[in-house]
Structure 1
């Protein structure tokens, strides 16, 4: 049950009545009409912008239109007050029965409460896609958690989602990986290699790769030139690094549906270029020099260029390098075209903040190769500053250059990593303090929310101990709990927030912003903890009252509804919902 969707339909019905009565012209664009929570909860339960966004098109005063629309809405038995505020917003206060219906819906639907049926085709989310040259660092972890939570969110919103990892196994960096692994291979055979030469990867994580090569090939790779051993070593090193990355991701509960190899694209590049030429999207020309700063795309020569400016980019982009090889952009076009050919109509790339220059060109390319049939949203994840009690954490000895994601997960656990990576918008820098994320306090959001779920479970344990003859199952509470007894402002606040959950899911999914779920869960947890604290001082507000069976059953129904919503939201974030906290 989504009361916002229900009342949006009701507002549209009321607008239709105004059209029929001659107050409004027919054919108005209602696409911008929304029903949402008011900015100030004291103003009511719902608010609509209908009068504000329609007044200009209807050639009328927004305040006057608001009054006419409010008069129509007052005829709804679920509305106890409809008032016009400011330039035309309409605030609605609902009858308590409306929120009682929400509780019944939560108890009836269980895990299905909050699910949506958003329209749209197949969604492909590509996230992580770390180069297979070593273990994942904390920055990779942020993109991994964001992408995975976004996939969970879109699935709950009713979308068909593929989770994909792009394996960069065709660039110069994997040749560097192979040479670094060959050094460890020589070391495994007993050579003293000394310090790792500059330009190679120094981390100890390549020691097992060298040992595996020695065990498989013996000393044979020492007797052949690099051109012969490089492909063999590269293949082994990439495979072992991807096993390492998969294991790191598994520690966070992250599993991809598809691992797509960049190398498989190489045969498709000539056909891609030919197809683009045939459509007139490629030409030979010169790029003007960039204004104000150097650009890797600019060379003062005639080049093979893609007409990305026709599709919204700032400049056309080269597809061939001066040596005749294909640019990274050409490979990226082929890769996204492959996603589209596999049926995806909505593409989402989760990338590091240093890929900001990538966004416009790839959105232009996707629009071009799909004839406008597919869209691309690029979500950039900002840096993670790793701290311990406010002080920067030193780099890892094992990785050589950074703190590994595995080290962080091993120290603080999966749940704090996932929740805190999502408790800030993806495009804002995140301070991750290893000491704070394990504190048991209100200032630690993951503890605060998980404790709310555990507290809900503990309320039921206390109820069964205090009233062993009572049936507190969901079905029994649904059958005979008297929700009219839930009249305290704290109870009303919890019911209001529970009613918002389906809208939170829809709006967060539409915006591709899973952090909204984390923020919502914190607010929901705060409402529960606040009411619990009131009960310490006012016994009549306690959840369990053995001498008042009816109020106990009503409040336990509310607690069960709230617990179910918290569990659902935590599931979206990939965080467990514990039944007790240690």
Structure 2
């Protein structure tokens, strides 16, 4: 149930009636008509912009439309429709509407707010996709949490979602990994490893070296690199991917598909993708202009094979083949995205680090060309995370060699705290993660504050049960909710009503942080009502000697708990039943 959608439908019905009565001209487009909470709650429960957006195409004054619309909004749920300012229409709803919302939330349980908005559209969310050269670092944490929460959000709003990891195992970095693993293999055989500059120094490769010794003994020690490089590259890559899978599991992230860049080479798939673009007249041989600003020392003007990405919104055309005939890194990415299009996805989402900002337009251009504009590609950039402890920068990890690992973060803060905190900022805003701050018990710590609300709800349910009151959902659904009448209580019910709308808006915008923000707001409203009960006993959830009123009040609390649990489910966080 989305109350805002229901009321919008009622407004559209009234507008249709006005059209049939000749009060509005025929053929008006109502697509931009909205019903939303007013900016100032004092103005009412909902507001519609219908008169404002229809005035110009109708050739009428907004206020005239609003007054006629108000007269037609006869509905048992609407107690008043008031024209404000130049033509906004504010609606006030009866208390019974909010009582019905409480019952709907309890009745739907975990499905409250679930939407069919996505209409089963197939969406591919590619995220993390870290190079398989070591354990995941803190930068990957935020992208992993964001991608997983976004996938949950889209699934909750009616999309068919595939979570995908693209293994970047086709570049030079996996050769470096193989050479680094070889030094650890030498170490396992009692020799001094030569961890020279350019190799990966982390201790995480020591077990890989030991596993190589177990497999090969000392047979590779005196062999030239060309004899062992390919085998060690595959061995070490698989070992790193095993580590990465464990890292993701520690964070509560699962992938549906792992795709390999390496698998694109030698199969004709890159060539086929480029040939498709060529058939559209988008591949040509040409010379790019030099980059603006200071020229790189190695810049030379040369003819290259280029993709005409400017035809689809990019700033410049992009090279897809090097002068030696090998593919640029862009070519396999084009083939990979064509593969996703060929698999039948209706929408693609890539989650990239902030350093990939320059890659957005070229990739969107390629997808637009390959799909003939049918499949949109949304690229979400994830800004950096800065780690602190008590305000001081957090030290680097010896095990990783050069960075703080995902495991470091999860082991110290916990998966639930880590996930929630990573979603307390929009993805393209920088985030500071202070280990002391995220674990403190205060209102300033959003994850603790929302978990405290969850624990309070469970505490209330336990207290009522101990008092002999049946607080099962079936019992609460039969409660006399007219006993919920105080403005503060009704305000909390209004917040419950906003949840389905919030889900749809967050899903459309691909912004799961909105869920975290909403949970903090509804938790704050619950805590406020709880605190007011300290002074006004009539607002306490458990009313001694009055089981009927207690059941009604607990129904409200239970509805809030449904929303918090549902929101936590999207964020991948386990609701707390008690605080310790």
TM-score (norm 2): 0.97
**CA distance in 1 between partners of 2:63 and 2:536 (Å):** 44
Which position in structure 2 is the counterpart of 1:212?
211
Which position in structure 2 is the counterpart of 1:110?
109
Structure 2 unaligned residues grouped into runs of 5+: none
Cα distance per residue 1:351-387 (max 9 Å; x no partner): 1001111111111110100111111000001000101
CA shift, 1:293, in A, is 5.5
1:305 counterpart SS class: strand
**Structure 1 residues 142-221: aligned runs within 5 Å:** 142-193=142-193, 196-221=195-220
Which position in structure 1 is the counterpart of 2:411?
410
Q: Any conservation in 1 of the 2:153–2:503 contact (CA below 8 Å)?
A: yes
**Structure 1 residues 31-70: aligned runs within 5 Å:** 31-70=31-70
Q: Any conservation in 2 of the 1:287–1:298 contact (CA below 8 Å)?
A: no
Q: Any conservation in 2 of the 1:333–1:362 contact (CA below 8 Å)?
A: yes
1:123 counterpart SS class: strand
1:190 counterpart SS class: coil
Cα distance per residue 1:316-371 (max 9 Å; x no partner): 11111111111111111100000111111200000100111111111111010011
Asked whether 1:342 is paired with 2:343, we answer: yes
Q: Any conservation in 2 of the 1:132–1:168 contact (CA below 8 Å)?
A: yes
State the Cα RMSD in Å: 1.5
TM-score (norm 1): 0.97
**CA distance in 2 between partners of 1:573 and 1:347 (Å):** 21
1:537 counterpart SS class: coil
Bigger shift: 274-283 or 219-228? 274-283
Cα distance per residue 1:288-308 (max 9 Å; x no partner): 223336589985212111111
Q: Any conservation in 2 of the 1:179–1:230 contact (CA below 8 Å)?
A: yes
2:346 counterpart SS class: strand
Which position in structure 1 is the counterpart of 2:320?
319
1:487 counterpart SS class: coil
Cα distance per residue 1:264-307 (max 9 Å; x no partner): 11121122222222222211112222333658998521211111
Q: Judging changes above 3 Å, is the alpha-carbon distance between structure 1 residues 79 and 293 closer, same or farther for their aligned structure 2 residues? A: farther
1:552 counterpart SS class: helix
Q: Any conservation in 1 of the 2:320–2:330 contact (CA below 8 Å)?
A: yes
CA shift, 1:232, in A, is 1.1
Which position in structure 2 is the counterpart of 1:122?
122
Q: Judging changes above 3 Å, is the alpha-carbon distance between structure 1 residues 476 and 293 closer, same or farther for their aligned structure 2 residues? A: farther
Which position in structure 2 is the counterpart of 1:368?
369
Q: Any conservation in 1 of the 2:276–2:370 contact (CA below 8 Å)?
A: no
**Structure 1 residues 526-541: aligned runs within 5 Å:** 526-541=524-539
CA shift, 1:465, in A, is 1.5
Q: Any conservation in 1 of the 2:270–2:334 contact (CA below 8 Å)?
A: no
Which position in structure 1 is the counterpart of 2:95?
96
Bigger shift: 280-289 or 150-159? 280-289
**CA distance in 2 between partners of 1:159 and 1:418 (Å):** 22
Asked whether 1:499 is paired with 2:492, we answer: no
Bigger shift: 285-294 or 100-109? 285-294
Which position in structure 2 is the counterpart of 1:248?
247
**CA distance in 1 between partners of 2:344 and 2:149 (Å):** 22
Which position in structure 1 is the counterpart of 2:512?
514
**CA distance in 2 between partners of 1:86 and 1:234 (Å):** 69
Bigger shift: 19-28 or 437-446? 19-28
Bigger shift: 15-24 or 3-12? 15-24
Bigger shift: 286-295 or 134-143? 286-295
1:349 counterpart SS class: strand
Which position in structure 2 is the counterpart of 1:579?
577
Cα distance per residue 1:227-282 (max 9 Å; x no partner): 11111111111111111111111011100000101011112112222222222221
CA shift, 1:64, in A, is 2.3
CA shift, 1:438, in A, is 0.8
**CA distance in 2 between partners of 1:109 and 1:248 (Å):** 34
**CA distance in 2 between partners of 1:296 and 1:127 (Å):** 34
1:435 counterpart SS class: helix
Q: Any conservation in 2 of the 1:297–1:318 contact (CA below 8 Å)?
A: no
Bigger shift: 17-26 or 199-208? 17-26
Bigger shift: 196-205 or 64-73? 64-73
Q: Judging changes above 3 Å, is the alpha-carbon distance between structure 1 residues 144 and 463 closer, same or farther for their aligned structure 2 residues? A: same
**CA distance in 2 between partners of 1:532 and 1:9 (Å):** 35
Q: Judging changes above 3 Å, is the alpha-carbon distance between structure 1 residues 577 and 299 closer, same or farther for their aligned structure 2 residues? A: farther
Q: Any conservation in 2 of the 1:276–1:282 contact (CA below 8 Å)?
A: yes
Cα distance per residue 1:504-538 (max 9 Å; x no partner): 10000000000000000001001111111111111
CA shift, 1:159, in A, is 0.3
Q: Judging changes above 3 Å, is the alpha-carbon distance between structure 1 residues 276 and 299 closer, same or farther for their aligned structure 2 residues? A: farther
2:83 counterpart SS class: strand
Number of residue-to-residue matches in the alignment: 577
Which position in structure 2 is the counterpart of 1:71?
71
**Structure 1 residues 373-384: aligned runs within 5 Å:** 373-384=374-385
